[in-house]
Chains A and B, each alone.
Chain A
């Protein structure tokens, strides 16, 4: 396994002689020095004068009626300054909630009020002079609960007699525990099934997964009682989402809430929303007038942070004799946990974009989106795509086996290869470019696909999977996909970049500086990225959905162009030359061909600010430019189709695994990743993103999981038991190939990098495990225990291949209409049941 690493070098860069700028080079990062030497300040590193410490009492049970919370003893504990519970805030804070249901439903409150919905939900909080005093006081809070039966399995939530989780909320499209629905009607899947040569079907289940960013969720809230300004330092991915929701919840003006980020130690989607702790710390600070520190512990983050939505998919793939995929049908039970902000959107994006890289003409998907007494579902690297790919790419292998076609060939016949771009798929995606066909072959070749198939080794196998990933966040309920950048050429020739999109590992300070340096001819070392601060940063949505390089990068490029035009106009005036005759570079503007002459940018900028009488007539002083870029994406259409992303990056992965027949341990011994990330701004950074994406996929397929007992207790809420991969669990990731097909829609040609590496991993490993052992895993994760028990079961039955776990209904064979699960809340035409009959009215909530 010990191999020499490949590393992009300057000599490789030099191989492309036409490239003179920084974009496309592995420029060492601006961010590194502070992080490497320990001077970077994360949320827990900040200390404000007079700061005090808050801690949250969380529910130890998953489902209960909350009778009373008594804070009397806690308030009397040493050092305690204040204590709060739900009853104290009833009617004083506006609940917030699921983005799909935002106008109707606010299912999030700072504390549980009348009911506890999941283990770890906030019940009360205290603030004290020290952390220990706050923790001690938590133990003096008396809570009176009546236990209710817990609902853990998402399919159990569908039962009419299931315990009702969210009471008293009128959902627009759901009822009871089914709080929303999702459907796709493209083409005619019934007919595709009838006409198909082969239909493969299987029930697939996916696991919950945590972002588990190592920098804990946390904030410091500081309220100024004279100016009524609330300043919140928060470890978040989106300052404006926190600001706007927080202001609404507290009913104070949005311009009186200032959200600032310290250094943010990763998020992966798990910090892309507001959380109760931000509200709690703010309320404490407003009440006691001191800065309140509230940073969560690891167990709290596992229990109450968001987790990847689990899904149960009854999936079906229809193919012609030649392997052409003609249809896809699926019924999905989508587990959003007890509440969600983003979780609901995951099924939309994951299913729509997860259909790629195939142009499937007939698609029929129904989904019941349910609540369970488990951790809230939400965004996590891949946003539904790994779940979808896990099912679909295994079905592709199953169909290939049925048809006697090599899985590589099967994919090669189906991946999008239009004669011209842009190409609109039946699902509505507009593919502006892709090298998926080449990526597929490159990854297969790199893993030694043909050889491995020709000479199989016992307990060793290879597998493929392909996926494409969106670069946008226009969701059904989120009708925007913008980022903004403001640039200022300072009067000494340096440049400040303002953006509200939080860099938490994505290298914005480097990547944006590369773009600005190329566009303005300013030295890289002169460019600084200002920290996101809602008081000064232009409005932007935040950093998620792989939008950094493409959407924020484009805003930055546009701002750079505007600033450049302004600089040239001014220089043309001063130099008495035509703007077209001027070139910009080397920190100056010069007449073409005379790079050593000209005007330094600092002279121009100084003039634009301090000697404005020298400016041309009508020239607006100072050299600043703002650009906001919103992508030309579409909202989801009623039939579920639509172009939800501005461009699509591609990942074709090939895995070689080895299974230990004694212990069941699955090791990925070789792995090849061929990607189309369009124009890459910083190759080494993008390589790191892909490798990190792979890690999350590997964790999802081989270990990470939220293990609940039947009462809804999370049994592995610690890094001791939560199986996050370590360095020794990883293969060498040197077989990384970029085959760029530059985006046409994005001016610079970039495509999203962040999540691209995660999508295919579970399916590629699952397919390889089948190749190695004959066991087709239908549920995630594939733990050593499950692997070994599957092998023994296979031996016991004396079969060559089988699907596992075998307690799952086998959906192979001819399909009859009545053996398909019936959606509970999915079909608009059939959506005519009488709710009172279906669900009863026993709680009187309606």
Chain B
């Protein structure tokens, strides 16, 4: 680690002001589970750390009047995993309780993972797949960003140095009939080798309404498969859906045209995980 100054603002505007003041030499730290690894390796060498842990109002889970679920950026995986959330929101808890390991979940935060924007992490796929809105506070004021804009295709996020992710707003419980996330990693505490999240709404006629499928870990950023879902899933009869075919289409949509062993493996995994995620979501749909 290189020497740094550790600052502990107590409100979000103060944090933003500090970030604006120190620019690119400053980094935000929430749980620090990714950042500290990089700092110990000296691949990240901030001279200022702005801690979010004392900032009020950034942690916790609330349900708004419209039913949307708001999660503060410094909410830890442990808290998310223990929250008894109803409906499809339960999938958020399941995901938060099934990543990394127990000690890392104590410190690691949802906002930290999203801003680290590692495509192998589960939280970026979660927000991409469910279309959660990301609330950001910057020197120029607050704005809400769609995950498709938040994650840059080549990796990283669209945040400017002075901006702080403050909350993640997930669609209300009724919005999706089913959300299912499937991933593969060799060991339980490894980041995903590939992951797929599938979110489905259901029309009154029983058919699938709008569908979203997001894929993680196979590209520099989480990928949303809008072409496949529009062409094959949205509006489809859940009983007639050919999962294998959807899997093939999803893999074709997100994977680059390369023939390395890893690319072929990713392709196989995306197909299988898409099938598994869809099957699980559809079983909820049918229930």
Contact = CB atoms under 8 A, between A and B. Distances in A.
B187 A726 contact: yes
Nearest to A663: B184
Nearest to A297: B40
A784 B268 CA distance: 11
B272 interface: yes
Given A723-B187, A726-B187, A726-B188, A662 B261 contact: no
A703 interface: yes
Nearest to A805: B261
B1 interface: yes
Interface in A788-810: 788-789, 792
A785 B264 CA distance: 9
A703 B186 contact: yes
A628 B261 CA distance: 56
B6 interface: no
Given A662-B272, A665-B186, A784-B186, 11 more contacts: A132-B1, A139-B42, A662-B275, A662-B276, A664-B268, A729-B187, A784-B193, A785-B261, A785-B265, A788-B265, A792-B264
Nearest to A726: B187
B262 interface: yes
A663 B261 contact: no
9 contacts: A662-B275, A662-B276, A663-B269, A720-B190, A728-B187, A729-B187, A785-B265, A786-B261, A788-B269
Contact of A792 (B2, B186, B268): B268
A723 B264 CA distance: 21
Interface in B20-51: 42
B184 to A, nearest CB: 5
B189 interface: yes
Interface string A92-111: 00000000000000000000
A792 to B, nearest CB: 7
Report the 10 A-B pairs with minimum CB-CB distance, sorted nearest first. A662-B272, A785-B265, A728-B188, A663-B184, A726-B187, A788-B268, A784-B186, A789-B261, A788-B265, A789-B264
From A726, A729, A785, A786, name the one whose CB has the most chain B CB atoms within 10 angstroms. Answer: A785
Contacts of A664: 265, 268
Contacts of B187: 703, 723, 725-726, 728-729
- The contact size tier of chain A is 20 to 34
B181 to A, nearest CB: 15
Nearest to B2: A136
A375 to B, nearest CB: 19
B25 to A, nearest CB: 18
A789 B269 CA distance: 11
A720 B184 CA distance: 16
Interface string A761-802: 000000000000000000000011110110010000000000
Interface in B231-287: 261-262, 264-265, 268-269, 272-273, 275-276
Interface of B: 1-2, 42, 184, 186-190, 193, 261-262, 264-265, 268-269, 272-273, 275-276
A785 B193 CA distance: 10
Interface string A130-145: 0010001001000000
Nearest to B191: A720
B64 to A, nearest CB: 38
B262 A785 contact: yes
Contacts of A728: 187-188
From A723, A726, A786, name the one whose CB has the most chain B CB atoms within 10 angstroms. Answer: A726
B268 A783 contact: no
Contacts of B262: 785
Contacts of A785: 261-262, 265
A663 B182 CA distance: 12
Contacts of A792: 264, 268
Interface of A: 132, 136, 139, 662-665, 703, 720, 723, 725-726, 728-729, 783-786, 788-789, 792
B186 A723 contact: yes
A429 B197 CA distance: 59
A465 B15 CA distance: 62
Contacts of B184: 663, 665, 784
Nearest to A728: B188
Contact of B272 (A132, A663, A723): A663
Contacts of A662: 268-269, 272-273, 275-276
B268 A726 contact: no
Contacts of B275: 662
A726 B1 contact: no
Nearest to B194: A663
Contacts of B189: 726
Contacts of B42: 139
Contacts of A663: 184, 269, 272
A728 B102 CA distance: 13
Nearest to B269: A663
A668 to B, nearest CB: 14
Nearest to A661: B272
A728 B186 CA distance: 10
A786 B261 CA distance: 8
A720 B264 CA distance: 23
Nearest to A787: B265
B97 to A, nearest CB: 14
Contacts of B188: 726, 728
B186 to A, nearest CB: 6
Contacts of A783: 186
A792 B264 CA distance: 10
Nearest to B262: A785
From B42, B268, B269, name the one whose CB has the most chain A CB atoms within 10 angstroms. Answer: B268
Contacts of B268: 662, 664, 788-789, 792
A663 B189 CA distance: 17
B265 A789 contact: yes
Contacts of B264: 789, 792
From A132, A729, A784, name the one whose CB has the most chain B CB atoms within 10 angstroms. Answer: A784
A36 to B, nearest CB: 19
From A136, A139, A663, A664, name the one whose CB has the most chain B CB atoms within 10 angstroms. Answer: A663
Nearest to A666: B186
A783 B185 CA distance: 11
Contacts of A726: 187-189
A837 B275 CA distance: 61
B35 to A, nearest CB: 15
Nearest to A793: B264
B123 to A, nearest CB: 18
A788 B270 CA distance: 13
Nearest to B1: A132
A144 B42 CA distance: 22
A663 B262 CA distance: 13
Contacts of A784: 184, 186, 193, 265
Contacts of A789: 261, 264-265, 268
B42 to A, nearest CB: 8
Contacts of A720: 190
Nearest to B276: A662
A665 B2 CA distance: 40
Nearest to B264: A789
A590 B266 CA distance: 76
A212 to B, nearest CB: 14
Nearest to A662: B272
Contacts of B276: 662
A594 B137 CA distance: 89
A136 B1 CA distance: 9
Nearest to A719: B189
Contacts of B2: 136
A730 to B, nearest CB: 11
A748 to B, nearest CB: 41
Contacts of B261: 785-786, 789
A662 B182 CA distance: 12
B276 to A, nearest CB: 7
Nearest to A132: B1
A785 B276 CA distance: 18
Nearest to B184: A663
A783 B269 CA distance: 14
Contacts of A139: 42
